[in-house]
Amino acid sequence: MLLRAVITLQTLVLFSAPITAGLLLSSSGGRALHSVSAYGVFTVAVLHLVTAILVWRPGGGSPRPILYAAVFMGLTLAQIALGIAHVKTLHVPLGVLMFGMSVLQLSRVWTDRRAQVAAAGRRGGDVHAVPAPVDHL
């Protein structure tokens, strides 16, 4: 449940980055807003990594979400470095890739839970007793 919330937040924060990038090009306060969105992406990426570790270790879930979160953290650091260096030819496509990855991950964590709930309902089982999916992420 917590991992699902963090990935949802991550996707929303990533959605704000191109909006502030547009403001960067069109207004005087755009640079500050885009910087704030970069700090937001970094903060959520760290939160995502910590959450993935907590789902695995104390939560008894799969360690797979840690790999995704660690790769995403690495891409976030690369994205920040490219932005600071003004390498737009790599910064923009990497941002698109990161948003796409986040949307894909978001669809996985939400649809898998719904599929499990539907399967439990068809079997006549307790829909609320279905554990949250973390094994295949």
Higher pLDDT, 96 or 134: 96
> For 64-78, how does the pLDDT look when each residue is reduced to its tens digit (9 = 90+)?
889 999 999 999 999
> For 79-116, how does the pLDDT look when each residue is reduced to its tens digit (9 = 90+)?
999 999 999 999 999 999 999 999 999 999 888 765 56
Q: Across all residues in the chain, what is the average pLDDT?
A: 87
**Would you state the torsion angle of the CA atoms of residues 20, 97, 82, 68, taken in this order, to the nearest 10 degrees?**
110
* Confidence (pLDDT) at 136: 47
* Confidence (pLDDT) at 62: 82
> For 16-51, how does the pLDDT look when each residue is reduced to its tens digit (9 = 90+)?
999 999 999 899 989 999 999 999 999 999 999 999
Higher pLDDT, 135 or 87: 87
Note every long-range contact of 8-14, with CB atoms under 8 Å and residues 24 or more positions apart, other chains counting: 8/106, 9/44, 9/47, 10/41, 10/44, 10/45, 10/48, 10/72, 10/102, 10/106, 11/99, 11/102, 11/103, 11/105, 11/106, 13/37, 13/40, 13/41, 13/44, 14/41, 14/95, 14/98, 14/99, 14/102
* Confidence (pLDDT) at 63: 86
